Each structure stands twice: as structure tokens, then as C-alpha cells.
């Protein structure tokens, strides 16, 4: 069979990392007898500036039939961030019920953590972030603009389906990893949505008696990400908290440019979407120095999701070997002076 993947490079460094990584991904797939075709969609902020919408009105119908979607990043200095985010990424994650955002944080050998006492492999956890609702529900409004009594309301939404799905995915992952799940909320302050969330963790947890559940408030958890990151294994958190904690996770394993992400519909009714954690990074756009490794590792997650374990492993191993080699090219975010292309060219030589 041939897999069909829709590719949306997006804005800023999105097309830089996506297009360069493609040569590597194609070569690795060929080496593992995996056949796939990509269709490129030039959706994003340039389209918004020209036509008033990030994607065409029938975008979801056009994406529906693919085996997976690969996204670069969206975000443009001339377009408000809430427009770019809601007009593309969130429309896809919500429309395709990609309730589960899985984001591993792994400290590779050869990468220096800002937490200097940790060595390769010491930090190895995965965050399961609720991906379709919570604090990112588009619920609220503004009233009395310009008057003294001006107000803004922003509501968080927690549904049983959305919460149970992410919690179950995290428990499943915990059974396959070290049997430990850390549930991160703020249920002391947010006594409705987050206490509901905690109740669901308790409820679903009864089906997984072998998994040890730790509960942390997000403020304390932020400190513990810095103080004892080696003790985390599987983490489950709401949309906002998961978003923040995974940038922190990327920071402590060396760079945002290394971090991969997946947006998964566990029912597999809709295609899942894979993307590096980082955004469009206007500050380095066009300089040719964006780190492509977050993108390569996101392709690893894509192949894992589609059951192509050997191909996924080959991408992972190439990255691990490159990072462990002090003579290999690396981008400036991880202390090197090479560009995106040189890093990808070197990875191509390391595919087995
Ligand atoms: P960002 O992730 O684009 O950049 C943050 C910092 O990390 C910058 O200093 C950047 O140079 C660096 N960085 C990011 N990716 C890198 C890479 N691959 N290699 C080397 N360095 C890298 O986040 P920022 O600056 O907050 O947002 C920029 C735009 O991206 C905004 O419009 C924002 O809304 C959007 N954004 C989009 C996301 C998405 O498409 N999923 C996620 C996060 C932000
Ligand atoms: Mg983020």
C-alpha cells in the first residue's frame, strides 16, 4: 500500500524545516520499503493576507481522506496570532477530534541541558496534552468596549469525551512505559473544570490499578520540571498547561527546535496531524539556520502512528547518532554554526 500524507508547510521557518526534511524522509522510507505520497497545501498567512482566510472553506473535506497530515508552523508578523492559530491548526485539531496531543521530551546524548547535571537519557518523559478544548475553547466575548465597565469573558470548556479521551490515552501510555502517571491541574483555584478533570482521572484510573498516579498543581509542577525532571514519565494536562509545560520540557532537553508533537484522533476515524512544537520563528526566518530535528522527530511519530516502527526507529537512530557525534553539523540553537540543509544532509548519511 501507499500512504497519502497531506503536507502544510505554513509560515516562517515552517516551509524551511518541512521542505529540507522531506528529502531525508523520502530516502528513509525508500530504504525501508515504505511507499508514500505527499500533497502540498500552501495554506497559511500569505493566503490569509491575499484571500482573507488561512485555508479554503472545504479544507477539512480535502484533508479527510489522507492517512496523516504534516504541518510546519503558522504565524506571521502581519496577522494577529489568534487568527493564524484558530484559522488553521485549531480548526483541524477540533474538526478531526484530535483530542490527544502527545509530546515527548527526551534529552539526547550530546545535547547540553541548561540543567547541567543531567546527561543523555536522564530526562525522558511524555506529556499528554488535551488538544481540542479546555482553556482554548473559543468561548467568550467582549462587551462595553471603551467604557469604564468594559469586560472580557473567556471560558474554559471540559467535556467528558474530550477529558476521558486524553486521560485514557495517558493511562494506556503509562502501562506501556514505567507505570507512573502525573496528573497536573490547578484544581485548588479552578474548582469546576479541573475538579471534574480530577474526578475523571480517578474514574479512569480504576481501570488501570497497576498505574501509580501522582497529582501536582501546575505551579509546583513547573518548579519540579526544573528541580527533578528525571522523575517524570507520563504526564497528563489540560490544553493550556500542556502547551506551557511542553515548551518548558523542550527547553530542559536542549532546544525548542528539537521537540516533536502529534495531534491524534485515537478512534482513527479522522487523520492525525504531526508537527514540530515550535512556531514560525520570525526572528530566524530566511536565515537557513532553523533546526530541522523537531520536524524529523515529528515524522518519526507519524510513522509510529501508522505502524511503520522500523522506519520510525531509523529516523530516531539517525538523530541520536548525529547528536552524539561531536564532529557532526548542528544548528546554532544547540551550540553549532551549521544550517538546516547541512544537518539534513548529514542525517541522510546516517539512515540505516
Ligand atoms: P517560536 O516557537 O516561533 O520561537 C520561539 C523561539 O525559539 C525563537 O527565539 C525562535 O527563534 C526559536 N526557535 C523556534 N523554533 C526553532 C528551530 N526550529 N530552530 C531554532 N530555533 C528555533 O515561538 P514565538 O516566537 O512565540 O512565536 C512565533 C510565531 O509562531 C507566532 O505567530 C506564534 O503564534 C506562532 N506559533 C505557532 C505555533 C504552531 O504553528 N503550532 C506554535 C507556537 C507559536
Ligand atoms: Mg506552544
pTM for the model: 0.96
Distance, CA of 243 to CA of 332 (rounded, Å): 24
Give the Å distance between the CA of 191 and the centre of ligand 2.
Answer: 25
Q: Which fold has domain 124-252?
A: Isopropylmalate Dehydrogenase (3.40.718)
| Domain chopping of the chain, boundaries | 1-101+256-352, 124-252
Q: Tell me: the pLDDT tens digits for 171-229?
A: 999 999 999 999 999 999 999 999 999 999 999 999 999 999 999 999 999 999 999 99
CB 263 within 8 A of CB 93: yes
CATH of region 1-101+256-352, choose from 3.40.50.10240, 3.40.718.10, 3.40.309.10, 3.30.450.20: 3.40.718.10
Tell me the CA–centroid distance for residue 279 and ligand 1, in Å.
3
Rounded to the nearest angstrom, the distance between the alpha carbon of 282 and the centre of ligand 1 is: 7
Looking at the DSSP assignment, which residues form a beta bridge with residue 213?
Answer: 181
Kindly list the protein residues that place their beta carbon closer than 5 angstroms to ligand 2, a single-atom ion.
Answer: 243
Strands 212-217 and 180-185: parallel
Residue 333 alpha carbon, nearest atom of ligand 1: 20
- Contacts of 31 by beta carbon, 8 Å cutoff, 6+ apart: 314, 351, 352
Mutate to test the pocket of ligand 1, among 86, 91, 279 (most ligand atoms within 8 A of CB): 279
Q: Which residues are CB-neighbours of 326 under 8 A, at least 6 positions away?
A: 110
244 Cα to the center of ligand 2, angstroms:
6
Question: pLDDT tens digits for 39-49?
Answer: 999 999 999 99
pLDDT digits (tens, 9 = 90+) for 133-181: 999 999 999 999 999 999 999 999 999 999 999 999 999 999 999 999 9
Strands 124-130 and 100-106, bridge-based pairing: antiparallel
ipTM above 0.90, yes or no: yes
Q: Do domains 1-101+256-352 and 124-252 have the same CATH topology?
A: yes
Amino acid at each position: 500500500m501507499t500512504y497519502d500524507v497531506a503536507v502544510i508547510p505554513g509560515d516562517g521557518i515552517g516551509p524551511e524545516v518541512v521542505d529540507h526534511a522531506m528529502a531525508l524522509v523520502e530516502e528513509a522510507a525508500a530504504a525501508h520499503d515504505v511507499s508514500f505520497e505527499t500533497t502540498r497545501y500552501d495554506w497559511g498567512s500569505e493566503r490569509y493576507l491575499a484571500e482573507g482566510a488561512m485555508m479554503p472553506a472545504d479544507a477539512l473535506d480535502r484533508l479527510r481522506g489522507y492517512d496523516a497530515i504534516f504541518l510546519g508552523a503558522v504565524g506571521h508578523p502581519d496577522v494577529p496570532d489568534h487568527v493564524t492559530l484558530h484559522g488553521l491548526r485549531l480548526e483541524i485539531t477540533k474538526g478531526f477530534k484530535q483530542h490527544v496531543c502527545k509530546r515527548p521530551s527526551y534529552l539526547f546524548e550530546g545535547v547540553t541541558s541548561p540543567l547541567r547535571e543531567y546527561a543523555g537519557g536522564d530526562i525522558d518523559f511524555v506529556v499528554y496534552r488535551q488538544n481540542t478544548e479546555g482553556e482554548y475553547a473559543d468561548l467568550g466575548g467582549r462587551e462595553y468596549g471603551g467604557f469604564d465597565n468594559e469586560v472580557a469573558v473567556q471560558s474554559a470548556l471540559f467535556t467528558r469525551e474530550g477529558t476521558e479521551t486524553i486521560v485514557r490515552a495517558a493511562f494506556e501510555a503509562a502501562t506501556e512505559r514505567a507505570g507512573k502517571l502525573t496528573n497536573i491541574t490547578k484544581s485548588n483555584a479552578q474548582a469546576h473544570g479541573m475538579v471534574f478533570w480530577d474526578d475523571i482521572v480517578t474514574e479512569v484510573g480504576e481501570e488501570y490499578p497497576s498505574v501509580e498516579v501522582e497529582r501536582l498543581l501546575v505551579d509546583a509542577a513547573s518548579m519540579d520540571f526544573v528541580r527533578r525532571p528525571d522523575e517524570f514519565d507520563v504526564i497528563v494536562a489540560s490544553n493550556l498547561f500542556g502547551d506551557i509545560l511542553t515548551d518548558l520540557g523542550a527547553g530542559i532537553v536542549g532546544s525548542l527546535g528539537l521537540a516533536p508533537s502529534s495531534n491524534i484522533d485515537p478512534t482513527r476515524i479522522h487523520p492525525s496531524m504531526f508537527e514540530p512544537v515550535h512556531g514560525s520563528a520570525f526572528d530566524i526566518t530566511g536565515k537557513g539556520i532553523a533546526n530541522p530535528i523537531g520536524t524529523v522527530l515529528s515524522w518519526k511519530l507519524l510513522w509510529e502512528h501508522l505502524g511503520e516502527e522500523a522506519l520510525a526507529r531509523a529516523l530516531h537512530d539517525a538523530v541520536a547518532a548525529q547528536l552524539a557525534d561531536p564532529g557532526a553539523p548542528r544548528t546554532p540553537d544547540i551550540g553549532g554554526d551549521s544550517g538546516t540543509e547541512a544537518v539534513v544532509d548529514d542525517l541522510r548519511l546516517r539512515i540505516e
